[in-house]
Amino acid sequence: MTTNDVLKNLTQYNVWANWRVLKSFDRIQGDLPDYAQLMFSHALNAQAIWIARITGTKSPVTVLQRHTLPELHQLHEQTSAKLAELYANADEAELNRTIEYTNTQGKAYSTKVQDILTHAINHATYHRGQVARELRLAGHEPINSDYVTYVRIVYGQDLEI
**CB-based contact 122:42 (threshold 8 Å):** no
Q: Is residue 67 part of a domain?
A: yes
Q: How many domains does the chain have?
A: 1
Q: Is 76 annotated as a binding residue?
A: no
Confidence label for 157 from pLDDT (cuts 50, 70 and 90): confident
Is 67 annotated in a binding site? The answer is no
Report the C-alpha gap between 142 and 60 in whole angstroms. Answer: 29
Is 68 part of a structural domain of the chain? yes
The pLDDT score that the predictor gives to residue 51 is 98
Question: Per residue in 104-151, pLDDT tens?
Answer: 899 999 999 999 999 999 999 999 999 999 999 999 999 999 999 998
DSSP assignment of 35-91, as one string? HHHHHHHHHHHHHHHHHHHHHT---SS-TT----HHHHHHHHHHHHHHHHHHHHT--
Is 131 inside any structural domain?
A: yes
Amino acid at 35: Y
Three-state SS sequence of 94-143: HHCCEEEEECCCCCEEEEEHHHHHHHHHHHHHHHHHHHHHHHHHCCCCCC
Average pLDDT over residues 53-73: 97
CATH number at 48 reads 1.20.120.450
104: in domain? yes
Residue 1 located in a structural domain = no
123 is in an annotated binding site: yes
In a domain, 141, yes or no: yes
pTM for the whole structure: 0.93
In-domain check, residue 160? no
In a domain? residue 114: yes
* Per-residue pLDDT at 9: 92
User: Where does the pLDDT of residue 154 fall: very low under 50, low under 70, confident under 90, or very high at 90 and above?
Assistant: confident
* Residue 1, pLDDT score: 52
